[in-house]
Chain A
């Protein structure tokens, strides 16, 4: 995946950090101090469909076949997360118990065109 830079217009990963102290959540979330959420932004021209990240996927192959065989069925390519990882949280629940869990697929690590 590509990280967004100042003049980049094609599909890339934009970093976005939510500071738990800034949103007033530091009293119930013990760790970490914030959430590296990140998101995908940018353009996906048709010729970029399926790259990077999803080039070898079954879905990409099917979409490319549909596009090649039937122009009417062609869909726009879209900039989406292609790689994500869990967010580990240590927090107080409503009964002041301490809970640790890994929430799957919360942090966007890489983006690509569908």
Chain B
């Protein structure tokens, strides 16, 4: 089953 990634993997906190 494909694994769900989370947004912090792509975008850094401001």
Q: Do A and B bind each other?
A: no
